[in-house]
Each structure stands twice: as C-alpha cells, then as structure tokens.
C-alpha cells in the first residue's frame, strides 16, 4: 500500500509568481484535504476535495485554488504569491468524509516566497 506522496519537496518562488503543488493520495482514498502550516503553528485547513468536487473551504482567499483528478490525486495552486505564503503545505487523504475517517498526511512541500 503506497502512502500519501507530495511533490516537490521544497520550492522557492518570488512574490507575484504562481505555484502548483501536487499530491497523490493513499491507495483507495477518495478524499484529499490541503493544509498550510506556518513555522511554529498548527496546520490550517485550506480546502477539501471529495470525488473531484470541492467539499469545504477554510478562510483562504480565492487565489488559493485546487483540483482533484479522476485517480483522486490533487493539485493546490496559489496565484500572486505573497511573503506570508511561505509555509509547509500538507496534503492529507482519507477514505471518505465521515467524521471518524483518519486523515493520513503526506511529507509536505516547503514553500519559500522571497
């Protein structure tokens, strides 16, 4: 069974640029959630995708957008990067959206915006 994978591992961008982060969910998982974790903070929920549809969104501006593909892998896109977007971006997959479903986290993508 393959776990959650994310790419790239690290990324450096400059203000105003756009970035795409990728996530492959654990085998059999149809739900992907994205989180932003700033240094010294807990992860903050960005949004969730279930069967290719957005299924809930946190308090992030529209320049954060996402996509889920038929194989349940997912992308997080961030436009017009700002310095405060520097963080660890975590993807978590689960089997469905029920409250008891455990979310399995990937290793994250560390984004640095200069």
Partner 1 sequence: GQNIDQPTEMTATEGAIVQINCTYQTSGFNGLFWYQQHAGEAPTFLSYNVLDGLEEKGRFSSFLSRSKGYSYLLLKELQMKDSASYLCAVRGAGTASKLTFGTGTRLQVTL
**Which residues contact partner 1 (rule: CB under 8 A)?**
4, 31, 33, 35, 40-45, 48, 50, 55-58, 90, 94, 96-108
Least spacing, CB of residue 8 vs partner 1, in Å? 15
| Closest approach of partner 1 to the CB of residue 31, in Å | 7
**Quick one: 45 or 64, whose CB is closer to partner 1?**
45
Nearer Cβ to partner 1 (58/75): 58
Considering the complex, state which of residue 20 and residue 55 has its C-beta at the smaller distance from partner 1.
55
Query: Cβ of residue 19: shortest distance to partner 1, in angstroms?
Result: 19
The Cα–Cα gap between 70 and 51 comes to: 7
Minimum CB separation from partner 1 for residue 102, in Å? 5
Nearest by Cα to 28 from 56, 7, 2: 2
Residues 48, 53, 58: CA angle, nearest 5 degrees: 30
- Selection from 102, 89, 105 nearest residue 8 by Cα: 89
Judge whether 88 and 11 are in contact, CB under 8 Å.
Answer: no
In the complex with partner 1, the residue whose CB is nearer, 16 or 57, is 57
Count CB neighbours of 27 within 10 A: 11
């Amino acid at each position: 069974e393959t776990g959650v994978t994310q790419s790239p591992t690290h990324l450096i961008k400059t203000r105003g640029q756009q970035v795409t982060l990728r996530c492959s969910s654990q085998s059999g998982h149809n739900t992907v959630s994205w989180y932003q974790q700033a240094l010294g903070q807990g992860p903050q929920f960005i949004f969730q995708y279930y069967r290719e549809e957005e299924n809930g969104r946190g308090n992030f501006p529209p320049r954060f957008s996402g996509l889920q593909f038929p194989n349940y892998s997912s992308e997080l896109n961030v436009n017009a990067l700002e310095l405060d977007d520097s963080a660890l971006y975590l993807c978590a997959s689960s089997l469905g959206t029920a409250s008891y479903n455990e979310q399995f986290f990937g290793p994250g993508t560390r984004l640095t915006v200069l």
